[in-house]
């Protein structure tokens, strides 16, 4: 089967040269021809295109590299030339954005006239080399011309739009190419740029790699790229009698050639073709490894920038992980080259390639990801006090409460927590300054997300309650069933320094529902979803606990959870006509279970309810001459309609769960 192979820097091969598909290389000084019989066809064309993602997968596709040749490029078996170095280069930073233009000019197509050689085989062919079986293919066609890759790179700031950056620089490159090669809307025009385009161009680092780029004349900006591309036609005319450089080779199997001319090969060459599936997966692995290295490069740079507030050991650890990731990628490349050659030549089975893929995925990448996750998501909380001078003066009492709260957090013995102060100031000269703090507040963050927007107000609301917050690992929100025999979490606080002695019911900090423990799977359940018990943090209302969440010892916590009593379940089915106050009865029942006496319920800031409700009643005005309508409303739900004007508010069957001191009531 013939192969069409881009040259990618290997420009020394000619028609009749032998090619070894086991290593994807031409054999030096090894041509089967003693004479030349060549057909030439002029095919002057120019083409260019823009890769989008910059991954190996896309680059190989855009450059028409087969899966086999792509494998050789990644493994280092193919020594690419100056015009293809970008194939083995990767972006060092995941914040780096680039736009590349693949520019190609074709001049001549040469083809070996095999029919003209058939008359005198012995005189036209180097039979000894042919019979020795040194290669696997022979070059029968060469497409000549030149190719260049113009790449503009930009390190994106957090506020920059990736799409806007890439769009602007692509327009600049596209107009440049169109004006120079005579295609598109800008054909034949002078290369002129407006101020916005010049500003865009100045912000980018520009590189060009191509057949006629020399070390002494490397373009570094748009202006020099413009001059370089304009010189390409002259460079092509002066190279190989106006043909330029080899762009693509057509390779015919040696066995097919010998069959055509009835030649016997004394040494049979074994060549195994590899499945495209495994080769595609290896390309994906290299893309994943490159992305991991870029993330570590970013994080390593961030640790050096902020090393004034980080431990020396952590800065060193980040640098060591980056070094290990780069070493692992080099080791993967080397191992891939050996296994690839052995499998192609028949010295090893294809399963060795699958084994290498599996070992690499199970070893290096998970370690890199684990470090990134650990660095980005520490187990403790981060507390940030947001304020400015105006907000503190606006509400002195609120400022005093949040000030005392932040001081208490600073005194906390839990060293996992981070406490920061963000002092906003108003920039009167900036029209974009919209992040003004109206009132001082402390926000709590865990795993990169806001757990409590206003910690002081949240503590007031949760006063007297024991609260659970899931940790850095993601909460599972769907795709599971809550165990039937789950147990209500009523237990003493498992905090390391907490001295609260009585068992309490624990609620979720987000949905405020009583949390249940699935003793068959060791997950904690609430309305939010479920989380593994090791990934949860606890905070009770005891004075000895403090204001921060704590992650208890896993073994101690599990023993407490496994010793929880099974809940006393009460299942109540309420049926009745529309408007007979079924929902009102449920809410009254909840208050009956919650409060010891009616006076306790009356003293509560608001009634407890499970079903949102709304109704109205009329009372006399103060002057006694009329009536006024008072509306009472609590909560809202898509299943509850406004009942102010009478009629039933509940429009669909509803399942409601409530907890009391010894069990659970499902209504």
DSSP 254-273: HHHHHHHHT---SSPPP-PP
Each residue of 332-379: pLDDT tens digit?
888 888 888 888 777 888 888 888 877 877 665 445 555 545 554 454
DSSP 437: -
| 3-state secondary structure at position 403 | helix
> Which tokens go with 350?
């294809």
At residue 413, the pLDDT reads 56
Residues 69 and 143 in one domain: yes
- Measure the CA–CA gap between 425 and 437, rounded to whole angstroms: 9
Question: How far is CA 161 from each of CA 71, 173, 295, rounded to the nearest angstrom?
Answer: 34, 19, 19
Residues 43 and 182 in one domain: yes
* Residue that terminates a domain, selected from 345, 376, 407: 376
| 3-state secondary structure at position 641 | coil
* Domain count within the chain: 4
Residue 127: phi and psi, rounded to 5, are -65, -35
Residue 389 falls inside a structural domain:
no
Residue 384 falls inside a structural domain:
no
485 Cβ partners below 8 Å, 6+ apart?
A: 519, 520, 566
Residue 108 falls inside a structural domain:
yes
- Measure the CA–CA gap between 130 and 264, rounded to whole angstroms: 9
Angle between helices 276-305 and 351-376 (to 10 degrees): 20
DSSP 51: -
Residues 14 and 118 in one domain: yes
Residues 133 and 255 in one domain: yes
- R_g of the chain computed on alpha carbons: 37
Each residue of 476-520: pLDDT tens digit?
766 677 777 788 888 888 877 677 777 888 888 777 788 888 878
- Measure the CA–CA gap between 151 and 217, rounded to whole angstroms: 16
Work out the angle at residue 532's Cα, subtended by the Cα atoms of residues 527 and 538, and round it to the nearest 5 degrees. 75
- Measure the CA–CA gap between 516 and 506, rounded to whole angstroms: 9
Q: Are 530 and 539 in contact (CB under 8 A)?
A: no
Q: Are 325 and 368 in contact (CB under 8 A)?
A: yes
Q: Are 517 and 468 in contact (CB under 8 A)?
A: no
Strand segments (E) across 439-576: 441-446, 449-452, 466-470, 487-488, 490-491, 504-508, 516-518, 523-526, 529-532, 536-539, 568-571
Residues 244 and 283 in one domain: no
Q: Are 404 and 442 in contact (CB under 8 A)?
A: no
Beta bridge partners of residue 490, listed in sequence order = 505
Q: Is 96 exposed, middle or buried (0-12, 13-18, 19+ CB in 10 A)?
A: middle
93 Cβ partners below 8 Å, 6+ apart?
A: 155, 294, 297, 298, 301
Q: Is 157 exposed, middle or buried (0-12, 13-18, 19+ CB in 10 A)?
A: exposed
| 3-state secondary structure at position 147 | strand
- Measure the CA–CA gap between 528 and 411, rounded to whole angstroms: 32
Residue 386 falls inside a structural domain:
no
CB atoms within 10 A of CB 572: 12
Residue 425 falls inside a structural domain:
no
> Which tokens go with 310?
């980080």
Beta bridge partners of residue 121, listed in sequence order = none
Give the residue ranges of the chain where pLDDT is below 50: 82-84, 159, 182-202, 365-366, 372, 376-377, 379, 428, 430-434, 637-646
- Measure the CA–CA gap between 621 and 167, rounded to whole angstroms: 67
CB atoms within 10 A of CB 244: 26
Residues 561 and 603 in one domain: no
Residue 412 falls inside a structural domain:
no
Q: What burial letters (b/e) apply to 608-637, b meaning 16+ CB within 10 Å?
A: bbbbbbbbeeeeeeeeeeeeeeeeeeeeee
Range of the domain at 623: 571-666
The pairs formed by 322-331 with CB atoms below 8 angstroms and a separation of 24 or more are: 322/293, 322/296, 322/297, 324/364, 324/367, 325/289, 325/292, 325/293, 325/296, 325/364, 325/368, 326/293, 328/289, 328/363, 328/364, 329/286, 329/289, 329/290, 329/293, 329/364
At residue 196, the pLDDT reads 42
| 3-state secondary structure at position 360 | helix
Residues 134 and 208 in one domain: yes
- Measure the CA–CA gap between 294 and 1, rounded to whole angstroms: 39
| 3-state secondary structure at position 500 | coil
Residue 448 falls inside a structural domain:
no
Question: How far is CA 331 from each of CA 22, 36, 283, 327, 336, rounded to the nearest angstrom?
Answer: 21, 44, 15, 6, 8
Residues 207 and 341 in one domain: no
Q: Is 653 left (phi over 0), alpha (psi -120 to 50) or beta?
A: beta
Sign of CA dihedral 114, 115, 117, 120: positive
Q: Is 562 exposed, middle or buried (0-12, 13-18, 19+ CB in 10 A)?
A: exposed
Residue 151 falls inside a structural domain:
yes
The pairs formed by 604-612 with CB atoms below 8 angstroms and a separation of 24 or more are: 606/634, 607/634, 609/634, 609/635, 610/586, 610/656, 610/658, 610/667, 611/583, 611/586, 611/587, 611/635, 611/637, 611/640, 611/650, 611/654, 611/656, 612/636, 612/637, 612/640, 612/649
* Residue that terminates a domain, selected from 338, 355, 376: 376
Q: Are 184 and 178 in contact (CB under 8 A)?
A: yes
375 Cβ partners below 8 Å, 6+ apart?
A: 299, 314, 318
* Residue that terminates a domain, selected from 566, 598, 616: 566
Beta bridge partners of residue 154, listed in sequence order = 97
Question: How far is CA 159 from each of CA 95, 165, 570, 666, rounded to the nearest angstrom?
Answer: 11, 11, 55, 50
At residue 195, the pLDDT reads 42
At residue 362, the pLDDT reads 67
Q: Are 51 and 100 in contact (CB under 8 A)?
A: yes
- Measure the CA–CA gap between 396 and 391, rounded to whole angstroms: 9
Residues 250 and 310 in one domain: no
At residue 341, the pLDDT reads 82
Residues 69 and 179 in one domain: yes
Residues 38 and 76 in one domain: yes
Question: How far is CA 51 from each of CA 165, 170, 179, 184, 344, rounded to the nearest angstrom?
Answer: 15, 10, 20, 19, 30
Q: Where are the alpha helices (DSSP H) in 462-564?
A: 554-562
Residues 211 and 145 in one domain: yes
């Amino acid at each position: 089967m013939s192969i069409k192979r881009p040259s990618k820097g290997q420009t020394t091969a000619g028609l009749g040269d032998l090619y070894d598909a086991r290593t994807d290389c031409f054999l030096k000084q090894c041509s089967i021809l003693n004479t030349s019989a060549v057909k030439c066809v002029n095919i002057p064309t120019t083409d260019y295109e823009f890769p989008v993602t910059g991954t190996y997968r896309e680059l190989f596709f855009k450059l028409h590299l087969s899966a086999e040749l792509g494998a050789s490029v990644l493994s280092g078996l193919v020594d690419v030339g100056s015009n293809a170095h970008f194939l083995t280069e990767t972006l060092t930073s995941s914040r780096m954005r680039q736009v590349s233009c693949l520019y190609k000019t074709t001049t001549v197509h040469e083809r070996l006239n095999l029919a003209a050689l058939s008359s005198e085989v012995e005189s036209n062919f180097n039979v000894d080399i042919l019979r020795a079986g040194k290669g696997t293919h022979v070059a029968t066609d060469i497409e000549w011309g030149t190719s260049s890759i113009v790449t503009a790179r930009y390190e994106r700031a957090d506020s920059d739009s990736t799409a806007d950056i890439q769009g602007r620089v692509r327009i600049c490159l596209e107009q440049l190419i169109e004006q120079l090669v005579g295609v598109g809307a800008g054909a034949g025009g002078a290369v002129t740029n407006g101020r916005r385009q010049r500003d865009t161009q100045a912000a980018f680092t520009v590189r060009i790699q191509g057949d006629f780029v020399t070390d002494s004349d490397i373009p570094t900006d748009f202006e020099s790229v413009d001059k370089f591309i304009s010189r390409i036609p002259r460079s092509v005319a002066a190279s190989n009698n106006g043909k330029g450089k080899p762009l693509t080779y057509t390779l015919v199997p040696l066995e097919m050639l010998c069959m055509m001319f009835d030649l016997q090969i004394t040494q049979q060459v074994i060549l195994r073709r590899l499945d495209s599936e495994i080769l595609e997966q290896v390309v994906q692995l290299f893309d994943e490894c490159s992305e991991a290295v870029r993330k570590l490069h970013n994080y390593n740079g961030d640790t050096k920038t902020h090393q004034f507030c980080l431990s020396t050991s952590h800065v060193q650890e980040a640098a060591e992980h980056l070094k290990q990731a780069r070493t692992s990628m080099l080791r993967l490349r080397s191992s891939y080259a050996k296994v690839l050659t052995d499998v192609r030549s028949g010295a090893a089975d294809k399963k060795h390639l699958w084994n290498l893929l599996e070992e690499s995925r199970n070893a290096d990448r998970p370690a890199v990801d684990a470090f990134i996750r650990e660095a980005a998501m520490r187990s403790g909380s981060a507390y940030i006090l947001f304020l400015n001078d105006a907000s503190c003066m606006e509400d002195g009492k609120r400022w005093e409460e949040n000030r005392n709260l932040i001081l208490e957090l600073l005194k906390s013995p839990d060293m996992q927590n981070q406490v920061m102060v963000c002092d906003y100031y108003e920039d009167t000269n900036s029209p974009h300054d919209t992040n003004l703090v109206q009132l001082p507040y402390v926000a709590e963050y865990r795993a990169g997300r806001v757990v409590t927007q206003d910690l002081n107000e949240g503590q007031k609301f949760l006063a007297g309650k024991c609260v659970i917050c899931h940790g850095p690992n993601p909460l599972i929100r769907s795709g599971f069933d809550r165990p039937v025999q789950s147990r209500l979490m009523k237990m003493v606080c498992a905090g390391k320094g907490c001295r609260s002695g009585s068992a309490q019911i624990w609620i979720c900090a987000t949905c405020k529902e009583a949390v249940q423990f699935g003793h068959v799977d060791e997950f904690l359940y609430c309305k939010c979803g479920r989380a593994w018990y090791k990934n949860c943090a606890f905070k009770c209302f005891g004075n000895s606990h403090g204001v921060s969440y704590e992650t208890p010892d896993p073994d101690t916590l599990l023993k407490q959870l496994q010793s929880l009593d099974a809940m006393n379940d009460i299942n109540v089915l309420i049926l009745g006509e529309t408007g007979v106050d079924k929902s009102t009865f449920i809410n009254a029942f909840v208050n009956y279970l919650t409060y010891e006496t009616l006076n306790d319920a009356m003293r509560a800031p608001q009634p407890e309810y499970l079903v949102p409700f709304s109704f109205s009643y009329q009372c006399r005005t103060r002057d006694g001459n009329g009536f006024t309508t008072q509306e009472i409303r609590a909560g809202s739900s898509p299943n509850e309609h406004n009942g102010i004007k009478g009629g039933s508010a509940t429009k669909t069957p509803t399942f409601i769960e409530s907890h009391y001191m010894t069990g659970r009531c499902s209504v």
